[in-house]
């Protein structure tokens, strides 16, 4: 897979990172989101230590991911159960149809 170097900015620091071709815009958006999260977290908590901010932001993002994953898995399970119920209903309805 081909990559290219992309420059991003986080907390006023410029970083060069390798990025798959075609994903440059997504990387820039992710970096901007992360930068904003760090700034918001710093304002809310009054924490100025960069290492602590990064640790807290990383934990927050992981927590959000786990929450989303649980919600997604719950939705997928509910959908699967509903499909099974509909399949059973359709099977019963087809069995009750007069044969031709």
pLDDT at residue 100, rounded to an integer: 65
* DSSP symbol at 97: S
CATH number of 3-95: 3.30.160.880
What confidence tens digit (pLDDT) does each residue in 19-37 have? 999 999 999 999 999 999 9
Residue 91 CA to residue 42 CA, distance in Å, equals 58
* DSSP symbol at 98: P
Q: What is the DSSP string of 10-69?
A: ETTEEEEEEEETT-HHHHHHHHHHHHHHHHHHHHHH----HHHHHHHHHHHHHHHHHHHH
Domain ranges for the chain: 3-95
What confidence tens digit (pLDDT) does each residue in 36-86 have? 999 999 999 999 999 999 999 999 999 999 999 988 888 888 888 888 888
């Amino acid at each position: 897979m081909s990559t290219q170097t992309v420059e991003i900015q986080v907390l006023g620091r410029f970083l060069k990172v390798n990025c798959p071709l075609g994903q440059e815009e997504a990387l820039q958006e992710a970096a901007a989101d992360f930068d904003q999260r760090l700034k918001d977290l710093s304002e809310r908590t009054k924490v100025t230590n960069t290492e602590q901010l990064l640790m807290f932001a990383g934990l927050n993002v992981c927590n959000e991911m786990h929450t989303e994953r649980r919600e997604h898995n719950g939705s997928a399970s509910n959908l699967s159960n509903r499909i099974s119920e509909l399949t059973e209903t359709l099977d019963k309805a087809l069995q009750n149809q007069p044969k031709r």
